[in-house]
Amino acid sequence: MDPKYMQIYKTMKQRILDGIYKEDNQKLPNEVTLCQEFDCSRMTIKKALDLLVMDGLIYRKKGKGSFVLPPGALSSKINIQEDHIVGLTNSSEKNVTSKILDFQLKFADETIANKLCIQKNDPVYDIHRLRLIDQKPYVLERTYMSTSLIPGLDMDVLNHSVYDYIEQTLNFKIAGFLRITRADCSNPSDQKYLELKDTEPVLEVEQVAYLDNGTPFEYSFSRHRYDRFEFFSRSMRHI
């Protein structure tokens, strides 16, 4: 059962997407009116509308009111929302398959140990996967995870979703990530697996993912085909 502010947020979001508030120059009803409609206090309405502001769907002006913002552009490429946690397997894409190129254990070097908050030379999984969508190569992933934190990883898990294994089998919760995104020249391995020409680049995402107790559990590099992935983000200053 969602809390009340979340229900109101979802209802309002759907209304905005349905274009309900187009009529009065994109203006939403004022807060007191919404309080009456949803039978709640102003604080609860504000919490719901603040979520819409964070989504970039509305903006609010003291003394004026709250207004729907024009929608952003769409794109035919795979679209990664910056604030999305889900792995590729759980994205809106269908037909995601994985090809495991390499799966072995190694001793953590300084960098990996540092990122995963473990000791140098502690054992880690070293996973090399190619992810395909509709049989076409999309991304080449190099992933390091601590074996003691994430026990029992095997080919079967890797062929499906590691994130599902962590959340459903190990019953951990994934809390978030830290990401660095950059462009890079493709190397021979990229060219081979992603079927790129040697002049074509990749979009690299370096990521540390955290569990809900704050422990980093994954350090990875994902090299995406430059022409099939883009990152999407919205951000609104408090106004």
Contacts with DNA, residue ranges (CB under 7 A): 3-6, 28, 30-32, 39-44, 46-47, 49, 60-66, 238
CB of 166 to a second copy, least distance (A): 13
- Per partner kind, with CB cut-offs from 5 to 8 A, the member of DNA, a second copy, none near residue 218 is none
CB of 179 to a second copy, least distance (A): 5
d(Cα 159, Cα 164) in Å, to the nearest integer?
11
The identity of residue 224, as a single letter, is H
Q: Which residues pair with 137 in a beta bridge?
A: 132
The beta-carbon contacts of 190-193 under 8 Å, at least 24 apart in sequence, are: 190/140, 190/223, 193/101, 193/130, 193/137, 193/140
Between 103 and 177, name the residue whose CB sits nearer to a second copy: 177
Q: Residue 128, Cα to own-chain centre: how many angstroms?
A: 20
Helix axes 4-17, 42-54, angle to 10 degrees: 50
d(Cα 142, Cα 88) in Å, to the nearest integer?
14
Between 55 and 122, name the residue whose CB sits nearer to DNA: 55
- Per partner kind, with CB cut-offs from 5 to 8 A, the member of a second copy, DNA, none near residue 17 is none
What's the token pair of residue 184? 């890079």
CB of 161 to DNA, least distance (A): 23
Between 43 and 180, name the residue whose CB sits nearer to DNA: 43
- Per partner kind, with CB cut-offs from 5 to 8 A, the member of DNA, a second copy, none near residue 180 is a second copy
CB of 178 to DNA, least distance (A): 20
d(Cα 93, Cα 133) in Å, to the nearest integer?
7
Residues 90, 225, 134, 92, Cα dihedral to 10°: 30
Whole-angstrom CA distances from 24 to 5, 20, 21, 33, 87 are 24, 10, 7, 15, 40
- Per partner kind, with CB cut-offs from 5 to 8 A, the member of a second copy, DNA, none near residue 117 is a second copy
- Per partner kind, with CB cut-offs from 5 to 8 A, the member of DNA, a second copy, none near residue 183 is a second copy
Residues at the interface with a second copy (CB under 8 A): 26, 43, 56, 59, 61, 67, 69-70, 72-73, 75, 77, 82-85, 115, 117, 173-185, 198-203, 208, 210, 212-214, 216, 224, 226, 229-237, 239
Between 97 and 111, name the residue whose CB sits nearer to a second copy: 111
CB of 59 to DNA, least distance (A): 9
CB of 154 to a second copy, least distance (A): 27
